[in-house]
Amino acid sequence: MRDDVHSYAAARRERTSDIDHWLADLLRAACGTPYGRAGGAGRRGGAGGTDGPGGPESALKDAPGPPLRHVPGGVALVAVGSLGRAEPAPGSDLDLVLLHRGRDDVARVADRVWYPVWDSGIGLDHSVRTVAEAVAVAGEDLRAALGLIQARHVAGDPELTRAAREAVLAEWRAGSRRRLAELRDAVDRRAETGGELAFLLEPDLKDARGGLRDVQAMQAVAAAWVAAAPGPRVREAYELLLDVRHGLHLVTARGADRLVLQEQDAVAGVLGLLDAEALMRRLAESGRTVAHASDATWRAVGRLLSGPAPRGRRPLADGVVEHGGEVVLARGVSPRKDPTLLLRAAAAAAEAGLPIAPATVNALAVQAPPLPVPWPREARDALVALLGAGRAAVPVWEELDQAGVLVRLLPDWERVRHRPQRNPVHRYTVDRHLIETAAGAAAFTREVSRPDLLLISALLHDIGKGWPGDHSITGAVVARDIGTRIGLPPADVETVESVVRHHLLLPETATRRDLDDPVTVSRVAEAVGSRETLELLAALAVADGRAAGPAAWNSWKAALVSDLVRRVRSVLAGTPPPPVPALPAAPAAPARHGGGAVRVAGGVVTVVAPDRAGLLWRAAGVLAAHRLVVRAASAASVGETAVIEFSVMPEYGSPPDPATLEADLRLALAGRLDIEQRLARRARSLRRVQVPTAPPRVTLVDDASNTATVVEVRAHDRPGLLWRIGRAFGDCGLDVRAARVETLGAEAVDVFYVVDRAGGPLTEGAQRAQVRDQVLAALR
């Protein structure tokens, strides 16, 4: 982070020493104690500036050695703020406390110290207190408490300083519940007002979220013995922020904290950086490091304030559990043996709305072996599930980034990592904009036929901004490479490449062309090529615009894009409807023999039984009760026999005993197993945290079949989902003639061909509405 940045740490240490010597001499003179050296106070009292003739630095040049710090009479000069932390920038004010033991002439002593400081032109915040008064003020005033926690003795009686610091620290620790809650409120208010340093065009280096004050707040928390002090990465980030502030003071010749646009190139120059973009990229990295550490610190504080977390470990995924409000690895699980564990843990954390424990993410980052290329499907599904968690994916993604994992998973990510977008349209760096867009796209997964490709395309749509040239063109090339790397089939790679290439087509055309001109719509339709790609582009346009910010997306643009999509869809309407699913070849043979049978072979469960209503959802309920996740399913009839094939995987741990599963399936088919009771009991044992997701969607597709009504169900996957949907059909008196069930990441995309009691499609409007309402009710 720091190799190419000029450091001013030595200059700050030297400035601290200069000011300390100067103040010590002022206090000694104020108390009537001789300097014991040539020069005297008069030479130091008329300082004309922080570095000019007569100031503290120039006055010290004539001093032969350090002054004596002891001053008779029971007074001590204490530095707080930047001088107390020994990090004053060239334009920093001084924040001083004069402690005393009830000395009668303390006002005169104070004046003889304060006036020379004022005369020097340095800003001064000062107070005069006894130790008891200092402790009392710190007990009521948060700012005073924070200053005295980090107070540093400058001159005078060190016992006074020690007594004040120890008393304030003791009060701070004893009242930590109240004081840390107060500090957390102050941190939150400051973040709301100042914004996030990493993503601001003109950040406030002190008060923005991820700025200097956040590190100081973490130090105050550590002083209360509630969390560890900031680690080396945070300290390094903090030093860079101090250097940028130091450079800003040098450039502006004043004490400024906001890095405005017109000063950024000059500040970059004094820090030895190429340009403003290089500076802002370093700032973004430091700000995000600090903000991430701050979040972890305040989680620790939250655990203190809310009391002990419930004991026990709750399974979330294979090898992953929740413990103490964080995601950790299950006992005995080693990251060294499972390259997909990292993404699986991340997906589980996002879906549960929980953070990954710092020790866990560090262990995964260090020990997990690299994923094979191309990725296995399990890894790709975990990535899609992570992105599909919506807003909950963002902090988990940031956790992976801070651990250095993302650039190992996706090497091309390095080119956009922390890359600033120095314009008022975008409110985030490129990499943060990409994950924000993917999180926003999760709200539209019900609107498209391939939610997995929507989420992946959203994550990659601006990946080309890490390369020169048109980012849509370069990004399409990179997206093709990444799609191949993560194991997408060639046809899906082409779709992602096309979406990234054309991700600006709809908003740019809608706002820059005449939509009433037939050429406009025909050219868009030609570029899009298919209704599937149009759906993806339409959803991505909204998610991209919203993630960019209000300057990039508004109701006017939304209306134009919607109108364009409607027109292009009409041009593409010649696409034939999807064919009725055919019976899979493998189960067809046992179906021809008739009778009922259950076959469990690895991750495939096949049910062959006499065709009757409710067969599909009853079998699905048994699978859910045995904690099996249905990744795909197909159902069809051969004569009087139904054949259902499920592709399943255990939700966590080892798969259930095949003999027990087969026995329960036979009981269910015979009507002798209470599936609802079994599922309810399991739901109570899981105690799942509800994370907000996009609402379910139920669509009756017209013209897709002449002999049945096609019902498409889109929902966030959860245990027993297929059972709930099927039972809703049964309650409506419908039979499922055929079905295709697929889970893409965490998204269930289920299509059912249903018929009424007479064996025909649904034609009455009231009946169609009842089916839609009944299924939606079952999904809530």
Which tens digits make up the pLDDT trace of 712-769?
999 988 888 898 999 999 999 998 888 888 877 778 888 888 999 888 999 899 999 9
Q: What is the enclosing helix (H) or strand (E) of 649?
A: strand 641-650
Could you tell me what percentage of the chain is helix, strand and coil, using 3-state DSSP and rounding each to the nearest 5?
Answer: 55, 15, 30
Q: What is the enclosing helix (H) or strand (E) of 237?
A: helix 232-252
| Interatomic CA distance for residues 718 and 612, integer angstroms | 26
**Percent of the chain topping pLDDT 70:** 90
| Interatomic CA distance for residues 236 and 289, integer angstroms | 9
Alpha carbon separation from 285 to 212, 229, 236, 619 (Å, rounded): 14, 20, 11, 51
**What are the E-state strand segments in 107-191?**
124-130, 152-156
| Interatomic CA distance for residues 482 and 492, integer angstroms | 12
Beta-carbon contacts of 191 under 8 Å, excluding residues fewer than 6 positions away, are 208, 209
Specify whether the CB–CB gap between 81 and 123 falls below 8 A. no
| Interatomic CA distance for residues 444 and 496, integer angstroms | 16
- Local structure of residue 423 (DSSP, 8 states): S
* Lookup result for tokens 């932390």: 85
Which 3 state secondary structure label does DSSP give 260?
A: coil
Mean pLDDT on 137-160:
95
The pTM assigned to this predicted structure is 0.83
pLDDT for position 321: 96
Report the range of poorest mean pLDDT among 12-26, 319-333, 574-588: 574-588
Answer yes or no: is pLDDT of 156 > 80: yes
Distance from the first to the final alpha carbon of the chain: 48
Specify whether the CB–CB gap between 87 and 238 falls below 8 A. no
Q: Indicate the residue type of 754.
A: V
* H helices present in 405-517, as ranges: 406-409, 430-441, 451-460, 471-485, 490-501, 505-512
Beta-carbon contacts of 775 under 8 Å, excluding residues fewer than 6 positions away, are 698, 711, 713, 725, 728, 729
Q: What is the pLDDT of residues 422-449, one digit of tens each?
A: 777 889 999 999 999 999 999 999 999 9
Q: Indicate the residue type of 658.
A: P
By residue count, the chain amounts to 780
pLDDT for position 699: 93
Burial label, 461 (beta-carbon count in 10 A; 0-12, 13-18, 19+): buried
Answer yes or no: is pLDDT of 44 > 60: no
pLDDT for position 59: 41
Mean pLDDT on 6-26:
95
| Interatomic CA distance for residues 424 and 6, integer angstroms | 29
Mean pLDDT on 551-566:
88
Q: What is the pLDDT of residues 232-247, one digit of tens each?
A: 999 999 999 999 999 9
| Interatomic CA distance for residues 264 and 253, integer angstroms | 14
- Residue 625 dihedral angles phi and psi, to the nearest 5°: -65, -25
- Local structure of residue 625 (DSSP, 8 states): H
Q: What is the pLDDT of residues 474-493, one digit of tens each?
A: 999 999 999 999 999 999 99
> Which residues face 711 on adjacent strands?
700, 752
pLDDT for position 276: 95
Retrieve residue 75's tokens.
Answer: 């007074």
| Interatomic CA distance for residues 732 and 751, integer angstroms | 17
pLDDT for position 52: 38
Mean pLDDT on 18-32:
94
CB count within 10 Å of CB 683 equals 14
The verdict on whether omega for the bond into residue 590 sits within 30 degrees of 0, i.e. cis, is: no
Answer yes or no: is pLDDT of 592 > 70: no
Mean pLDDT on 169-195:
95
